[in-house]
């Protein structure tokens, strides 16, 4: 049984000083409800992706908070899986409908990350890695992905210029997504290369930002979709996989095995191959992550992801447009909301509602959402 998406809602991503976590979560949910042409009373359950509310905002029990703000007494559950929390919430929503427990489900994600210092945020986010073997010894996420980048460069000849091309492309796409994107401005390869070094070889403009933001979608049973929506999009495949928490236990540092496994599951469930995908949102927390994602998902062969991006294959109008929203790099990365933002972008693309960044004729789209340094990965496939 397919599950339909009938509504999406997104807040502005960025440093949102005037809104609290509850404001952000409520805004995204209300927008999704309005877009779906339903009322809160039509919703049977809610699943909310969030990683850091307790540590960063002092607010636990987020499922109940969102139910309170929406004004319903239905089951509402917080879902946590590091930066993949949003996509894990989406999978919970799918399961609820496919099992027959629910007919209509709100799936959301929200994060408030900029009211604390960068140092505190960096330390908190390391909870998504191996605290005992990595965080305790001073490792950070830029450091972890820098190790992957160096290994990829050493093994395959990938260059920093090729990594920079991913950032340049994503910032260009973000200029066409100003209502949501945190950094909707153009950059150049030279600017990436000459920006502040964070963890060699990754510079500031290789890294996604710390972000406030929320996103929500409305799911419903396939047979009910046309009751609410003239242009439903269907979730046809979903895969989730895990890998070791610490990098030192991985078989390889040049790819994410969880991404390979999750995508295989999603492709099989959807009954498609990689060549059928028209548009994709990948988890570009760092530029090397987008390079590895193009390889792990099968868009290109192992080791040539940098050249694949450099040659323009992932631009709008290219072989496989990637991160038309601006990605995590330029649209922003409110970690619990990212997976739902990715889904929202694909849904808008398949509905033909993406404006200047529209991929013409897009019928099948995919999202790739990673938790931590790759210990969790979720891949979802959508069809018009």
Asked whether the predicted pLDDT for residue 100 surpasses 80, the reply is yes
Encode pLDDT of 243-283 as tens digits.
Answer: 999 999 999 999 999 999 999 999 999 999 999 999 999 99
Pick the closest to residue 132 from 46, 220, 248 (CA basis): 248
Q: How far apart are CA 295 and CA 42, in angstroms?
A: 41
* Among the ranges given (74-83, 158-167, 222-231, 366-375), the one the predictor scored with the smallest mean pLDDT: 222-231
Q: How far apart are CA 186 and CA 160, in angstroms?
A: 18
What is the full DSSP assignment across 40-67? GGG--EEEEE-SSIIIIIS---HHHHHH
Out of 152, 171, 172, 333, pick the active-site residue. Answer: 333
CA 23 to chain centre: 21
Q: Is 0.95 surpassed by the pTM of this model?
A: yes
pLDDT band at 151 (very low <50, low <70, confident <90, very high): very high
Pick the closest to residue 115 from 215, 14, 216 (CA basis): 14
Q: Could you tell me if 47 and 74 are in contact, meaning their C-beta atoms sit under 8 angstroms apart? A: no
pLDDT value at position 2? 87
Asked whether the predicted pLDDT for residue 140 surpasses 90, the reply is yes
> Residue range 142-166: average pLDDT?
98
Encode pLDDT of 110-127 as tens digits.
Answer: 999 999 999 999 999 999
Q: Give me the chain's average pLDDT, please.
A: 97
Q: How far apart are CA 67 and CA 75, in angstroms?
A: 8
pLDDT value at position 166? 98
Encode pLDDT of 296-349 as tens digits.
Answer: 999 999 999 999 999 999 999 999 999 999 999 999 999 999 999 999 999 999
Encode pLDDT of 34-48 as tens digits.
Answer: 999 999 999 999 999
Which residues of the chain does CATH 3.40.47.10 include?
3-117+211-228, 136-208+236-383
Task: Decide if 152 is catalytic.
Answer: no
Q: Which of helix, strand or coil describes residue 360? A: coil
Angle at 168 between CA 196 and CA 365, to 5 degrees: 130
Strands 213-221 and 3-10: antiparallel
Q: Which single residue is written with the structure tokens 């209300």?
A: 30
CATH of 3-117+211-228, one of 3.40.47.10, 3.90.1150.10, 2.60.120.10, 2.40.420.20: 3.40.47.10
pLDDT value at position 161? 98
pLDDT value at position 113? 97
pLDDT band at 148 (very low <50, low <70, confident <90, very high): very high
> Residue range 180-188: average pLDDT?
98
Out of 83, 229, 280, 331, pick the active-site residue. Answer: 83
Tokens, residue 335: 């970690």
Q: How far apart are CA 347 and CA 382, in angstroms?
A: 7
CATH of 136-208+236-383, one of 2.60.40.420, 3.40.47.10, 1.20.120.420, 2.30.30.790: 3.40.47.10
Task: Decide if 137 is catalytic.
Answer: no
> Residue range 199-205: average pLDDT?
98
Q: How far apart are CA 286 and CA 142, in angstroms?
A: 8
Q: Could you tell me if 61 and 71 are in contact, meaning their C-beta atoms sit under 8 angstroms apart? A: no
pLDDT band at 284 (very low <50, low <70, confident <90, very high): very high
Q: Could you tell me if 237 and 380 are in contact, meaning their C-beta atoms sit under 8 angstroms apart? A: yes
Q: How far apart are CA 60 and CA 73, in angstroms?
A: 18
Provide the total of helices (H) and of strands (E) in the chain, helices listed first.
12, 11
């Amino acid at each position: 049984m397919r599950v339909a998406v009938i509504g999406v809602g997104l807040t502005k991503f960025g440093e949102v000083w005037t809104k609290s976590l509850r404001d952000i979560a409520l805004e995204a949910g209300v927008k999704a409800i309005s877009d779906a042409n339903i009322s809160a009373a039509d919703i049977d359950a809610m699943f909310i992706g969030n990683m850091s509310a307790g540590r960063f905002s002092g607010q636990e029990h987020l499922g109940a908070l969102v139910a309170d703000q929406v004004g319903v007494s239905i089951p509402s559950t917080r879902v946590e899986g590091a930066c993949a929390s949003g996509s894990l919430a989406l999978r919970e929503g799918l399961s609820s409908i496919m099992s027959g427990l629910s007919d209509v489900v709100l799936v959301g994600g929200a994060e408030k990350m900029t009211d604390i210092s960068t140092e505190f945020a960096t330390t908190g986010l390391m909870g998504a890695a191996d605290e005992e073997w990595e965080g305790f010894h001073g490792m950070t996420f830029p450091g972890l992905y820098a190790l992957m980048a160096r290994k990829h460069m050493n093994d395959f000849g990938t260059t920093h210029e090729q990594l920079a091309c991913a950032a340049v492309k994503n910032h260009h796409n973000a200029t066409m997504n100003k209502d949501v994107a945190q950094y909707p401005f153009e950059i150049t390869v030279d600017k990436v290369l000459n920006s502040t070094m964070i963890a060699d070889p990754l510079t500031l403009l290789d890294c996604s930002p710390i972000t406030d933001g929320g996103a929500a979608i409305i799911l419903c049973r396939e047979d009910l979709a046309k009751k609410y929506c003239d242009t439903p999009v269907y979730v046809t495949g979903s895969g989730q996989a895990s890998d070791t928490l610490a990098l030192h236990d991985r078989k390889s540092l040049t790819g994410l095995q969880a991404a390979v496994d999750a995508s295989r599951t999603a492709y099989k469930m959807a009954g498609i191959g990689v060549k059928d995908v028209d548009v994709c949102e990948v988890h570009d927390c760092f530029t090397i992550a987008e390079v590895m994602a193009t390889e792990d998902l099968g868009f290109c062969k192992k080791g040539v992801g940098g050249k694949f991006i450099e040659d323009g294959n992932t631009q709008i109008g290219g072989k496989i447009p990637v991160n038309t929203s601006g990605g995590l790099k330029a649209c922003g990365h409110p970690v619990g909301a990212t997976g739902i933002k990715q889904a929202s972008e694909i849904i808008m693309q398949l509905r033909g509602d993406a404006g200047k960044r529209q991929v013409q004729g897009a019928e099948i789209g995919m999202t790739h959402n990673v938790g931590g340094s790759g210990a969790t990965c979720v891949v979802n496939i959508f069809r018009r």
